[in-house]
Amino acid sequence: MNGGSFNIPQNVLLENGKLIIPKFKKGIDIVFHRPTKGDIRQATISRTPTGKYFVSILCETGEPIKPKAIIKENTTVGIDLGIKTYLVASDGKEFDNPKFLRKAQSKLKYVQRKYSKHKGKRTKQKLAILHEKVANQRKDFLHQTSSELIKNHESIAIEDLAVSNMVKNHNLAQSISDAGWSTFVNILEYKAEWYGKNILKIGRFEPSSKLHANCGHINKELTLSDREWTCSKCGEVVSMDLNAAINIKSFSLKNILSGTDRKNQGKLPTLVGALTLEAHHISYAVGG
């Protein structure tokens, strides 16, 4: 089995550095990432393609859900996700795209050629290690970026992207998958629930890029390759990504004021999604 996971819904104990589950009454030696808090309700054991085992522990702490912060203009930030620059915020802050998969392509192609020719277990293991390293690097970047946004803002406005449709474009598919937009939004959403922050979404067909945020002119000729454009109405040179982020913030606040964004309030992420995405923060290594 290359990888997978299974749930243990009950009879889970942690005693003297061991995980005790049905059929393993003597316990399994584990390395704790951090102490558990509350009553254990479930354990999910997973195996990575490289042969590492992890167990995620779901506990009931009894802590109340934090109330949502009040939505205000000065504590809201709009963000525009991209490929060349990973994220541009309406306050001007930018996050570079690390492009972990693209940087690892030369090594991956070399090992893939070797594996295709020899089909050896050793080469297959090397390939799995490289893919796991890329996945871990990407996950760490997404957690750091999402945590910084959640920490510094009460409300975050984003565009409701149809990523599943976007990856059908073969020219962009690998870059979009490498960026991990869907995973990033999921992480952002459940962290917002944990810390009482707001995620405000606008429709994917809003003219966030083509509408000049300052004068209201719509540039109907704008293309994806136009990183900057000159407004024919006011003459200002417009940065497409920053302009989009500002518009995303404005559109989301307008939706809130008009009462059309009620669907974004009060939603909780599923436990399964939260466990899967945050596994490296709440996991325990089994057997080193």
**CATH number of the domain bearing residue 153:** 3.30.420
Give Cα 39 to chain centroid, integer Å.
Answer: 28
Within this chain, do residues 142 and 191 fall inside the same structural domain, yes or no?
yes
pLDDT of 288 > 70? The answer is no
**Residue in 80, 178, 189, 261 annotated catalytic:** 80
pLDDT number for residue 241: 92
101-140 burial string, b = 16+ CB within 10 Å, else e?
beebeeeeeebeebbeeeeeeebbebbbebbeebeeebbe
Do 102 and 47 share a structural domain? no
Confidence of residue 204 (pLDDT cuts 50, 70, 90): confident
Buried b (16+ CB within 10 A) or exposed e, 3-30: eebeebeeebebeeeebebeeeeeebeb
Residue with tokens 């295709």: 116
Q: What is the pLDDT of residue 3?
A: 58
Domain co-membership, 102 together with 239:
yes
State residue 91's pLDDT score: 95
Q: Are residues 235 and 260 in the same domain?
A: yes
Would you place residue 166 in the very low, low, confident or very high pLDDT band (cuts 50, 70, 90)? low
| Active-site residue, 241 included | yes
Average pLDDT (231-258) is 89
Same domain, 201 and 161: yes
Q: Are residues 176 and 284 in the same domain?
A: no
Do 263 and 286 lie in a common domain? no
Q: Which of 154, 178, 193, 241 is catalytic?
A: 241
Q: How far apart are CA 34 and CA 204, in angstroms?
A: 40
Domain count, the chain: 2
In angstroms, the CA 262 to CA 275 distance is 26
How confident is the prediction for the chain on average, in pLDDT?
80
pLDDT of residue 83: 86
Judge if 29 and 148 occupy the same domain.
Answer: no
pLDDT at residue 171 in the model: 64
User: Could you list the residue range(s) of the whole structural domain that residue 218 is in?
Assistant: 73-267
Task: Kindly report the pTM of this predicted structure.
Answer: 0.76
Looking at the fold, whether 89 and 219 belong to one and the same domain comes out as yes
Q: What share of the chain in percent tops pLDDT 90?
A: 32
- Do 146 and 259 lie in one domain? The reply is yes
- 162 or 210, greater pLDDT: 210
Q: Which residue has the higher pLDDT, 283 or 169?
A: 169
| Mean pLDDT of all residues in 109-123 | 75
Catalytic residue among 159, 193, 206, 261: 159
Which residue would you say has higher pLDDT here, 3 or 210?
A: 210
Sort 192 into a burial class: Cβ within 10 Å, 0-12 / 13-18 / 19+.
Answer: buried
* Cα three-residue angle 108-110-116, rounded to 5 degrees: 95
275 beta partners = none
- The answer to whether 80 is a known catalytic residue is yes
Cβ atoms < 10 Å from Cβ of 42: 16
Q: What is the pLDDT of residue 172?
A: 66
Whether residue 48 is found in the same domain as residue 181: no
Tell whether 53 and 182 lie within a shared domain: no
Instruction: Write the CA distances from 70 to 74, 75, 165, integer angstroms.
Output: 11, 9, 34
